[in-house]
Structure 1
Amino acid sequence: MILINLLPHREAARKRRKEAFQVTMVMAAVLGALIAGAVYMWYQNRIESQQERNAFLQREIKTLEDQIKEIASIEDEIAALRARQKAVEDLQADRNLPVYLLKELAAQLPDGIYVTGMKQTNQVVELQGMAQSNERVSELLRNLSGNTPWFAKPELLEIVAANATLSPKDVRRVASFKMRFQLMRSSDLKKDAESQDKAGTAQIKKGAANGK
C-alpha cells in the first residue's frame, strides 16, 4: 500500500525555519542587551570610581593649598623678623660710624684742602670743600679710594675755579669741589675680609695643586 502525504510539508518546514530564526534573533537581541547593559554598568562603575578619586584629589589639593598658604605666611613672618633683626644690627653697628667717618676723613685729607660742607644719606656721604689746586682734589680721591677700608667708590661730582677771601687784601684762586663716596659698615668690612680670606685660601690650594 502506498502512502501519499498530501499536507503542505514545504510550507511547514519553512514555518519551522522561520520560527527558529525568530527565536535565534530574539535570543541574540536579549544577549546583546545583556552585554550592552553589562558594559554600561562596568563603565558606570569606572566613572563613579574615577569621580571618587577626583574628589579625593581635590580635597587633598585643597589641604595642600591651605598648608602652602600657611607656610608662605610663616615665611613672610620669618622674613619680616630677619629684616627687623638686620635693622637692629645695622643700627647697633652704625652707632660708631660718625666717629669712623670723621676720624678717617681727617686722616685722608691732604694738606691744602678744607671741608665746607658734608651731608650723609644712608651710607652715601656727599662732601664739599676748597682745595689749593686740582692736584689736591685728585690726591684726596686716591686717598679715599685706596688708603682706608671705610670709604668706597669715591666719585668727583663737580670742580670749579673759585676765589677764597682770607682777608680784605688776600684773595686767592682755589678749586671748589663736590664729591661723594660710600661709607662702609662694620658688617660689610667683615664680609669683605671673609671673602678675601676665602679667595686667598683658594689661591693657595690652586698653587699647591699646580705644584704637584
Structure 2
Amino acid sequence: MILINLLPHREERRQRRKQAFYAGLGLSAVVGALIVALWLGVLQQLISGQQDRNNYLSAEIKKLEEQIKDIATLKAEIEALKARQKAVENLQTDRNMPVHLLNELVKQTPEGVYLVSIKQTGQVVAINGIAQTNERVSEFLRNTAYNSEWVEKPELVEIKAANVQTATREQKRLFDFSVRVTLKRPQDKEAQDNKPAPGAAPAAVPTKTS
C-alpha cells in the first residue's frame, strides 16, 4: 500500500519551528523566573545581614552613650572635688594673709609714719595713720604700689593736718591720713604671672613630622 502525504512539507516545517519557538520561550521564562527568584533571595539575605549590622551598631551606640554619660558624671565629680580642694587651699592661704599683711606694712612703712588702725574687708584693707609730712605719706603710697609683694593699688582716701600735743606739752603739726590697699593672694599672683604679656604672640603648637 502506498501512502501519500497530502500536507505540504513547508507547512509542517513551519509548525515544528513554531513549537520550538514556544518551547524556547517557555524555557526562557522558567530560567528568568529562577534567576529573579535567586536574585530576590540574595537581596533578602543582604538586607537581613545589613539589618543585623544596623542592630549591632545601634546596640553599640547605646553602650557608648551610656559610657559617655558615665564619663561626663565622673568629670563633673572630679571638677567638684577640684573646686572643693581649691576652696580649702584658698581658706588655708587666707588664714596666713594677716601675717603677710603685717610683715609687709612693717617693711613698706617709712620713718615718720605711724599706723593707728588697720581694718580688712575681703581683699581691701583700710589703713589709718599719722605722718610727719605729706612727703612721708607719698613715700608710703609709692612703696605699697611698686615695692610690695602682698599689697597693691594704694589709694589715698583722706589727708588732713592736725595739731598733736607731745609728751612735753608742745604742739606739733602732723597729718592724719587714710589709705586703702588691695591684698595680693598667692593664687592671684600665680594667675598674673601666667598671664601672657599684652601684644605677645601666642605660643606655637608643635607639629608632628613624618
**Range into which the TM-score falls when normalised by the shorter chain:** 0.5 to 0.7
Q: Which residue of 2 aligns with 1:104?
A: 104
Counterparts of residues 26-65 of structure 1 (less than 5 Å): 26-65=26-65
**Which secondary structure does the structure 1 equivalent of 2:98 belong to?**
helix
Alpha-carbon RMSD: 3.6
Kindly provide the amino acid, as one letter, of the partner of residue 85 in structure 2: Q
The number of aligned residues is: 183
In 2, are the aligned partners of 1:127 and 1:179 still within 8 Å (CA)? yes
Tell me what 1:125 maps to: 124
TM-score normalised by structure 1 residue count: 0.67
Question: Matches of residues 1-212 of structure 1 in structure 2 within 5 Å?
Answer: 5-110=5-110, 111-112=112-113, 114=115, 118-121=119-122, 124-127=123-126, 132-133=133-134, 135-136=135-136, 138-151=138-151, 154-157=152-155, 163-166=160-163, 178-185=179-186
Q: Hey, what does 2:205 align to over in structure 1?
A: none
Shift in Å at residue 15 of structure 1?
1.6
CA–CA distance in structure 2, aligned partners of residues 10 and 36 of structure 1: 38
Displacement of 1:45 = 0.7
Q: Is the 8 A contact 1:164 1:173 kept in 2?
A: yes
TM-score (normalizing by structure 2): 0.67
Letter in 1 for 2:139: E
Tell me the distance in 2 between the aligned counterparts of 1:71 and 1:88: 25
CA 1:34–1:137: 2 relative to 1, 3 Å: farther
Change beyond 3 A, Cα 1:22–1:166:
farther
Quick one: percent identity of the two aligned structures? 43
Deviates more, 1:174-183 or 1:101-110: 174-183
Provide the C-alpha distance between the structure 2 equivalents of 1:165 and 1:102, rounded to a whole number of angstroms: 26
- Distance apart, 1:142 and its partner CA: 3.6
Q: Which amino acid counterpart does residue 164 of structure 1 have in structure 2?
A: A
Deviations 1:106-132 (A, max 9, x none): 3312334757764432xx324455764
Structure 1 runs not aligned, ≥5 long:
196-212
Deviations 1:162-206 (A, max 9, x none): 533436xx8979696654433223x677x69xx9xxxxxxxxxxx
Give 1 or 2: higher helix fraction.
Answer: 1
SS at the partner of 1:163? Answer: strand
SS at match of 1:6: coil
Distance of 2:106 and 2:119 partners within structure 1: 13
Does the 8 Å contact 2:145/2:154 carry over to 1? no
Q: Give the Cα–Cα distance (whole angstroms) in 1 for the partners of residues 39 and 136 of structure 2.
A: 98
Once residues 77 and 66 of structure 1 are traced to their aligned partners in structure 2, the CA distance between those partners, rounded to angstroms, is: 17
1:100-158 CA distances to partner (integer Å, 9 max, x unpaired)? Answer: 2123123312334757764432xx3244557643x54553344224434323xx22556
Q: How big is each residue's C-alpha offset from its partner over 1:66-111, in whole Å with a ceiling of 9 and x where there is no partner?
A: 1121122122112212221222222223212112212312331233
